[in-house]
Amino acid sequence: MSSPHRRPWLGVAALTLSAWLAFGLLQVVLAQSVAAVRDDWWLVARFYLALALMWAALSPAIAGWNRLVRRSISGALPRFVAHVPAVLLAALVNAVVRRAMVRAAGMTNTVPFAATLLYYADLVAVSYVAVVLVADALDKSRALGERRRVARALEGQLARARMEYLDAQLQPHFLFNSLGAVSELAHEAPRTAARVLRQLASLLRSAFATETDRVTLGQELVALEPYLEIQRIRFTDWLDIVHDIDDRAADCVVPRLILQPLVENAVRHGVSGRDEPGCIRIEARIEDARLIVRVHDNGVGLQPRAAGAGRGIGLANLRERLIALYGDNARLRLHREETGTVAELSLPAIRGDTALAALVEPAPAASALVSPTPPREYSVAAVVGVWAICGLLWTQQSIAYMALRHRLAGASLLSIARSDLTTALLWAAFTIAIFAAAARFPITAARTRVRVAAYALGGVFVSAAHILLSRALGESELPLMSQPYAGMFAMNTLIFWGMVAIGHRRQLARWMYERETETERLAAELVDARSAATRLRADPALLLSMLERLAALVVVDAARTERALTRLGDYLRLSLDAGATSDPAPRGAALDALTRELGAAPEPVRGAGAA
């Protein structure tokens, strides 16, 4: 089986061969249609199909040479000069193959080699340019696909960076909300306060040790246990925590730290301040291929959210994480029931190691991030000027060929020039229309077949219309069904598809500019998100050390512990604000004040428990 990296090249090779064979069959039909006496169709078919195979073989070399020229040479004129030898070589190969096919048919070449070379020079040049243009359009299409891949990768990295920020936000938020409970216990039950501080340290140690962004619901429940133990310590004999977890639900993958904000909200708004014991019930079920998690409390119901630092961050953080991971495929709802308040979480039921799609994109290569360059617009004056130059070159070719065949005597040079310039300027008008059609109706992956067929029919119409107008304006006496006009129709078809390729190249350049602009924006947002996460993320060793020292201090000096807790609260509050500012000074000052307050605190005793 072919590797995925080879398949695009095989597709391009098949497309190239099919296009040239189709063009060869068109020439066979045209040649047979205008022939006064029908030739052996197989003889004619072999002649034109041999030429088609020749161009199919030359096309990859021409495309490769074009890529090399574009990479190594800058400027339109130097690139044009670099292509001239390749065009001459293609013309030589074309002349050799044509004359060889004439000999293979048992006929004699009565035309000099130079005349054959010169007569078909314009057709060779048009064929060469058509290959270059189509190859360039395909290269830009592949580059656009790569830019889209980079943008998708950046979107994935941005989602991960935002998740890192949200995860980092949970740590100071949770500690900030827990310090009030420790402060209350410091004077009344210092040893109980020490137990709470050690449970906090255990909870944070577990969170810091978990590097994955997803766990099973069962693992999340285990990680939640130190927090539940803290609440049991705070509300001794006043809080009952009940688990009702379906075995199938326990195996489902969920974001890390998804239950803690729900339980914390239930404790703060449902149990605290009650006159009688409270109950928190944690339920999990699978319903219609979705994981439903409910945290139910029997409190007084939903209350207006209190103001202040750290307030309301938990559930807002959770909602943002759900959006980053699942988009619209997850829901968090709080509602009141007769027996209390229910926080209900609905997620896709994902089992095992299935990845959360928003977080698995690889990082883009640094070389893929480039500054966007606006696409150049083609002016009408430029189109007319280029085609006028082509008309003059056609005139020179006609004069040179007639001189070589000794047919120039008696010919009107003005008539030749008028005919060729009329042909060229008609193409200028058609080119402007083709560019407009390519911008309005581009060939896209979703509409390839329909629009390719439409352009094919358009090519027939434009080629025929060009011949009719050229014949009428040039006052030609040649019959319409003649070999010169058959050859002209074939060349018109190549010119048409070349103009379609240029029109799509411009459209692709515009799309690429838009994608590169988006990529640059995503890259800047990624840097900002990672910087914010870095500023917000607390030092694990520092926090754990502070909690352990506070646990040792609270049993010997409650007043000083309360002051240290205030300093730690200031540090955590500023940590929550650090994601929005790059100034580290306030947080550094708060940390210095906390360090001074704990400077003479007794060292924690390893393994010490609460009395």
Same domain for 445 and 574, yes or no, is yes
- Give the separation between CA 254 and CA 257, rounded to whole angstroms: 9
Residue 307 has pLDDT above 50, yes or no: no
Same domain for 537 and 421, yes or no, is yes
- Give the separation between CA 227 and CA 200, rounded to whole angstroms: 7
Residue 284 has pLDDT above 80, yes or no: yes
Inter-residue contact 299 to 280 (CB < 8 Å): no
- Residues paired with residue 291 on neighbouring β-strands, in sequence order: 286, 347
* Mean per-residue pLDDT over the chain, rounded: 78
Residue 117 lies in a domain: no
Residue 278 has pLDDT above 70, yes or no: yes
Same domain for 184 and 306, yes or no, is no
E strand or H helix at 255? strand 253-255
Same domain for 338 and 398, yes or no, is no
* Interstrand relation of 214-216 and 253-255 (parallel, antiparallel or unpaired): antiparallel
Residue 124 lies in a domain: no
Same domain for 401 and 421, yes or no, is yes
Residue 571 has pLDDT above 70, yes or no: yes
Per-residue pLDDT of 313-359, as tens digits, reads 677 778 877 877 787 888 999 888 777 889 999 999 987 644 444 33
- Could you say which of 334, 355, 376 is where a domain stops? 355
- Could you say which of 337, 355, 373 is where a domain stops? 355
- Tally of domains within the chain: 2
Residue 92 lies in a domain: no
Same domain for 322 and 446, yes or no, is no
CB burial of residue 183 (10 Å; 0-12, 13-18, 19+): middle
Residue 159 CB-half CA count within 13 A: 22
pLDDT above 90 covers a percentage of the chain that reads: 19
Q: How close are the terminal C-alpha atoms of the chain, in Å?
A: 69
What pLDDT sits at residue 3? 41
Of 159, 141, 139, whose CA–CA distance to 151 is shortest? 159
Q: What's the pLDDT band for 290 if we cut at 50, 70, 90?
A: very high
Residue 30 lies in a domain: no
- Could you say which of 307, 339, 355 is where a domain stops? 355
Residue 296 lies in a domain: yes
Q: What is the DSSP-derived secondary structure letter of residue 351?
A: B
Name the residue with tokens 């999990």.
284
- Give the separation between CA 48 and CA 24, rounded to whole angstroms: 5
Of 312, 568, 41, whose CA–CA distance to 320 is shortest? 312
Task: Give the number of other CB atoms < 10 A from CB of residue 460.
Answer: 14
Candidate from 183-187, 211-215, 246-250, 425-429 with smallest mean pLDDT: 211-215
Calculate the CA 16 to chain-centre distance: 28
Same domain for 227 and 193, yes or no, is no
Per-residue pLDDT of 183-219, as tens digits, reads 777 777 888 888 888 877 777 776 666 556 678 899 8
Inter-residue contact 313 to 169 (CB < 8 Å): yes
Same domain for 508 and 601, yes or no, is yes
Q: Which tokens in the block code for residue 483? A: 């070999």
Q: Name the most confidently modeled range: 222-236, 402-416, 532-546, 551-565.
A: 551-565
Candidate from 468-477, 562-571, 599-608 with smallest mean pLDDT: 599-608
What pLDDT sits at residue 522? 73
Same domain for 480 and 338, yes or no, is no
CB burial of residue 53 (10 Å; 0-12, 13-18, 19+): middle
Strand arrangement of the beta sheet that strand 278-287 belongs to:
239-245, 278-287, 290-297, 340-348, 331-337
Residue 311 lies in a domain: yes
Three-state SS for 478? coil
Q: What is the CATH number for 282?
A: 3.30.565.10
Same domain for 203 and 234, yes or no, is no
Residue 522's domain comprises 160-212+384-611
Residue 267 lies in a domain: yes
Residue 534 lies in a domain: yes
CB burial of residue 360 (10 Å; 0-12, 13-18, 19+): exposed
Alpha helices in 292-412 (DSSP H): 313-326, 380-404
Of 191, 234, 227, whose CA–CA distance to 552 is shortest? 191
Same domain for 396 and 533, yes or no, is yes
More confident: 531 or 427: 427
Return left, alpha or beta for 607; rule: phi > 0 is left, psi -120 to 50 is alpha, else beta.
left
Same domain for 300 and 232, yes or no, is yes
Q: What's the pLDDT band for 7 if we cut at 50, 70, 90?
A: low
Calculated CA dihedral for residues 206, 210, 215, 217, nearest 10 degrees:
10
